[in-house]
Structure 1
Amino acid sequence: MEISKDYLKQYSSLLEEWIPKEASIAIAIGDQYIYYMPGKYDLRIKEGQKIQPGCIADLVLKSGCRTEALIDETPSQLSYYGVGYPIKINEENAVVVVILPPKLAVPPAPPYRFLTGKLEEEWRPIPIEKIAYMESLQKKTWFYSDKEPYKTNIPLKELQQRLPESFLRIHRSYIVNISFIDRIIRDFSSNLLVLLQDGTELPVSQSYNAEVRSVLGF
């Protein structure tokens, strides 16, 4: 289907007045994206890229209704908060999706002051500022305080929404407390590694590289 970019841009122009500047906008029809306007929060969607099952575009095209949700499974490995609207393009069902950082998911919930985790057969409430990092491993979520591993039933993507600004997502599987970072180095492949004060090494994935550099200012 040949559709001019100027024609598609009119949809994004309608949204530009009220969406945050970091938002990206995608338009999809059939089984693929046909337009993408990247913002500061960029999923790097390509025109012609196939729609992934369970994403906002897929949910709207299947339901025909406005849909908003927090999406964690993406090709770029970046979670996002998306709002999708059903539209018509040349009489065909299509969707325009506003892509936002997860922190903008509404309604906002108050930040955690503590997390209760299970250590052996005990449950302990741990103040949030004493947690060094969090990890998703084998479909379970763990957080670490004084090098002790505590298991929680809260998924990493949900934790991310209610953590103070001192916590930073550096990988699909890791969120780190900036206060516990000792230094950042490169490994033998020139990938970034976060070294914590207790000696723990955590990898920074390519997907989160730019965000880590932006937040930490280097």
Structure 2
Amino acid sequence: MTVRVLKEEASRGDQYKILLEDWIPKDASIVIGMQGTYIYCSASIAHVHHKLEDEIHPKSVAWQVLKKREKTEILSDGTIFGTPYYAMGYPIRIEQQEAALVIVFPPSYVPKRQEQYRFLTGKQDDCWIPVPIEQVTHIESLQKRTWFYANNEQFKTNVTLKELQLKLPDYFIRIHRSYIINIYFLQRISKDLTSNFVVELKNGALLPVSQSYINQLRKVLEF
């Protein structure tokens, strides 16, 4: 795109930003994608990965909006940019061309939870067993499968961590792209030999805390 066109799109993006500031967090980012690249970017400190004229990632919400032409929401586990985030995208038109307006919320933002699980149904061998949610100590994503643990037993479920995160009670917290824990089973938090945080559960399980999630864990547990 020419410098003139980019300036025009920047002006239009700033207008969207002013309109949206009343209902989005101050540290959210606003980006506009069109023709495979980002043509406007007002990024917060938490989202420095979004840059003007970057190519749109095939797994991003902007890509999905341009493909489906409908409002799209994504709760990312950090696979795309290394930092978890929640984003909402809307289809718009700019000079008769399809575009995507995306709001990227700060990492601390958690979208409104859906109706909460009261139990999880897990599979062991050829049996399906309903387990009360309060008995689940932690949930793990391993080799493209999801497992949960309760009463020192392992169960397989078809529900992904991303889906579970929206429907688990608020005493479950994600600590890693591969782990969600029930904080009522948390024994202690410490650091390993490389100064990375590790949580120990009451059943003896030791699980790593990734840098992407440590601030949220600190906020919830106030340490």
Say yes or no: TM over 0.5: yes
The Cα shift of 1:93 comes to 4.3
State yes or no: 1:69 paired with 2:66.
no
Residues 1-10 or 115-124, more deviating: 1-10
**2:42 aligned partner:** 36
Q: How does 1:13-162 map to 2 (within 5 A)?
A: 13-20=18-25, 23-33=28-38, 34-38=40-44, 42-48=46-52, 49-63=54-68, 65-72=69-76, 73-88=79-94, 93-100=98-105, 103-104=110-111, 109-162=114-167
CA deviations 1:78-115 (Å, max 9, x no partner) are 25242323241x7754321023478426xx53100111
CA deviations 1:149-192 (Å, max 9, x no partner) are 11111111111110011000111111011111111111222211
The alignment-based identity, stated in percent, is: 41
State yes or no: 1:11 paired with 2:16.
yes
What's the TM-score, normalizing by structure 1?
0.84
SS in 1 for 2:31: strand
CA deviations 1:105-132 (Å, max 9, x no partner) are 6xx5310011111123322211111101
What's the TM-score, normalizing by structure 2?
0.82
- Unpaired stretches in structure 1, ≥5 consecutive residues: none
SS in 1 for 2:67: helix
**1:180 aligned partner:** 185
**Does the 8 Å contact 1:66/1:86 carry over to 2?**
no
State yes or no: 1:191 paired with 2:190.
no
SS in 2 for 1:179: helix
